[in-house]
Structure 1
């Protein structure tokens, strides 16, 4: 039964009404996900067919690619519209979008977090340069991902002779927020969480929209147990609190203080040493094209002109770059960041992307994206799904399926130097390497270097205007962005330029006056840890 603000999950989600806009948070793998509340919403809908026709908003990916996270909301009738930063963690929701059974939209992850803050502050939406020239620009799709989606989420403004996007505000009727603990008064702490994400911004948006803020926590503390500086969401913002003693750091990890950054002194040193040993062991695993691209990409870390550049790593091949730097014990030469708000530490990958062990700092996501958007990011390592002759990249819709950009647009558009990393082709590719050369034994059935990308998630022409240094590194060849388009300037040793590269592309790149050959060390297995 309800005890002030404390109530059961069923009682809390009963506050959600038909047609509400519900803001969610999470980062994949269970990162700061209010799993107990999500499952309670699903249980209520399956039992009563209510609530109905929700609009669901989330900045980053949420789920396990099976039944958790956004999949709890992937029921026709429960939702009518989803505005998601990243969709891959819920194939069920992707399918609803593909079949036009919901209205599917995307927003850049950082834009979504910052927009929540603007909504909460009562300002007229978010005015930002992020998204210009991409799918979020109304001239290129307006964030719409299927035919059922009819509205533009942004409009173009001109201020002082410069173009901007205004992302339109909308009320948040309910925020489902995850935290660590609540005291008897309803003050909220994040002490044991592996990130902050956009929890404060989301709660603010709902509170000042006249909506309801529902917080899931792991424990209930006595009044006065929290120091003022430990409170991240004040009681005045909170309407309902649900205690879930089974709350976990991730779906598979009950609790680990290394992920919440709570280790200090000897315990931290021992944990960091163990982390390094694991990374070193991983570097000794089977060598392949991912490691070759990572080695080539890592060279770009230390020729930025900065003594200690600020770095962001994306998913896919870029996480191999992070592991390589960790295995070499070179983290002290960079400032490592991820968009979730975390600095330093040992980055996780796969389902745990967004987690870092023994981080040195944790900021709110909106603040992290402010730092990126204002020019604080020196180098970004990102993956790519498609690349076209103008240097534009698509990661947000592949094969007609809504993927979403996550923080990709915010990062790619704002880093001074962008290094896209990936393979030249996909599906059925067979390669041989490890002896200082690369040989293509079987070409791929899917070409990733296309005449025109299906959707613009990074705009090459806009990158030229911004003066960014942009590289596209594959296992077979290296390319760079020029005012005239994509230029090939380097190939792998052992690769035939015509057969293995140019014939596998849908456009003819510019060819550099002198085409170099990548260092054989990138393709030598014995050097995996060096």
Structure 2
């Protein structure tokens, strides 16, 4: 049996000019960084490969030690990129190299919803023409808006069409056939069978390998370690060796961002609930508590980045952990979704499913509720999370946001009413120390990540929870349904929005118990407005 093991540099030398390369990664989670670094080195040394089209269904790399796509963000090497999201970081940091290329229009760059990008791989694997979907209608993915283009260079080369199918509007994403896959696992046996026992998620390597194998390309798998053929249990193999051409052993690959390895993320151990830090008592915790009031026992709940990411810890503090099942797009089901650098992973998960399957669940609206953030809200109820021209490299793109929100039964968006505001809580009342200078309620959002118009048409239940009020999306517009203690309706809410807000006739006051440090006695049997 000929060995499949090669060096990362040898793997880089196999990639032809003009190749379409698909990479399995979610920031640093599952990122085959050593192989991507070798491609960058090979280009610097030899001038090849050139003009690569890169496909990243979620994202590759971060700004905190795993460079990912930045290894190959070099003029001449990178010719085009289609990604669910891009590396991001604080506004004070040097922008990633990929953002410089995007901003200077050196390459066409696209932000395709992650689930759709996975669907495109499946269609390419089966040699079907592409994806027909309603996911993304009236968002930035719609060609009547940006059509997924992130810069002017992409605007002249569309990747999506609006079509009429049986009298209805649909989006059509033509298949893009990859001929190289770079995936990652924990262990490979000598025949190329891959297991994922130290990974924080499977992501989509099977779908990506199938798309490449069925179209005659090469599949490169980066792993931590090699084992003898026949020693992996068949149910633990998630990518069979018949799909893998080459193995790159990279013992130092990190599990996820800033995390060499944490066994509770991959399910080797379960952390005690007491080991999870509960949020400090401040205005962000009050918002998270208010979001938690909308949940119901037994729900399956998707959770995203931002203030709402603290809601699982609110439930732990209140003794309600397990009342809902958390779900994240990278594949974890149950357990405790993690924060900050480890976002996208969960500790103590009940299951980890492949991301493409998780996205099918989300796209079809099979779950009960989603808790998400916002950068902007406009008068139609639309939300922007994916692009701010003033801070392009801080906003990384939409990832799976469009897939998740397209048919979600209920969505609770949370965030601050204005950016930059400062508050304190004294004796159960909020005091404004400094009003924010940047309005987040604007006449029209800069980038439509979620369409309020389609939400109304589909009967989705939409709430917006801020530090000063709760708003609901109605057919007539965005309506204030609840006000927090310490805020004046005219001065602090209506006067701070750049479009007219409606006000409910039975305007409620947020429960007082949320504004004290002690636990609030949370019960999920019923909420205030649901």
Report the TM range for the smaller structure's normalisation: over 0.9
Matches within 5 A, 1:46-61: 46-61=44-59
C-alpha distance in 1 between matches for 2:79 and 2:380: 36
- The answer to whether the 8 A contact 2:120-2:176 is kept is no
Report the TM-score, using the length of structure 2 for normalisation. 0.93
CA distance in 2 between partners of 1:329 and 1:414 (Å) = 31
Alignment of 1:324-403 (within 5 A): 324-399=314-389, 401=392, 403=396
Residues in 2 aligned to 1:437 and 1:167: alpha-carbon distance in whole angstroms? 51
Give distance in 1, aligned partners of 2:446 and 2:343.
26
Post-superposition offset of 1:529: 9.0
**Deviation at residue 3 of structure 1 after TM alignment:** 5.7
| Correspondence list, 1:95-494, <5 A | 95-149=100-154, 150-263=156-269, 268=270, 271=271, 273=272, 276-279=273-276, 281-283=277-279, 285=280, 287-302=281-296, 307-399=297-389, 401=392, 403-427=396-420, 429-494=421-486
Deviation of the 1:159 alpha carbon: 2.9
**Cα contact 2:64–2:258 (8 A) shared by 1:** no
CA distance, structure 2, for counterparts of residue 499 and residue 174 of structure 1: 57
Q: 1:245 to 1:160 in 2, by over 3 A?
A: same
Matched with 1:43 is 41
Where does the alignment leave 5 or more consecutive residues of structure 1 unmatched?
none
Q: Is the contact between residue 31 and residue 249 of structure 1 (CA under 8 Å) also seen in structure 2?
A: yes
| Distance change >3 Å, CA 426–CA 529, structure 1 → 2 | farther
Aligned to 1:4: 3
Q: Distance in 2 between matches of 1:457 and 1:253?
A: 30
| Moved segments of 4+, more than 4 Å | none
* Number of the residue aligned with 1:19: 18
State the distance in 1 between where 2:519 and 2:490 align. 29
CA contact (8 A) 2:140 2:147 kept: yes
- Structure 2: state its 5+ residue gaps: 90-94, 523-530
Q: Quote how far apart the aligned CAs of 1:528 are.
A: 7.3
> Over residues 100-127 of structure 1, what are the superposed CA-to-partner deviations in whole Å (9 max), with x where a residue is unaligned?
1221111111111222122112122112
Decide whether the 8 Å contact of 1:21 with 1:57 is kept in 2: yes
Which of 504, 513, 516 aligns to 2:505? It is: 513
* In structure 2, distance between residues paired with 1:291 and 1:46: 49
1:134–1:457: 8 Å Cα contact kept in structure 2? yes
What is the alpha-carbon distance in structure 1 between the residues aligned to residue 120 and residue 367 of structure 2?
21
How many Å separate the matches in 2 of 1:134 and 1:502? 27
What SS does structure 2 have at the residue aligned with 1:398?
A: coil
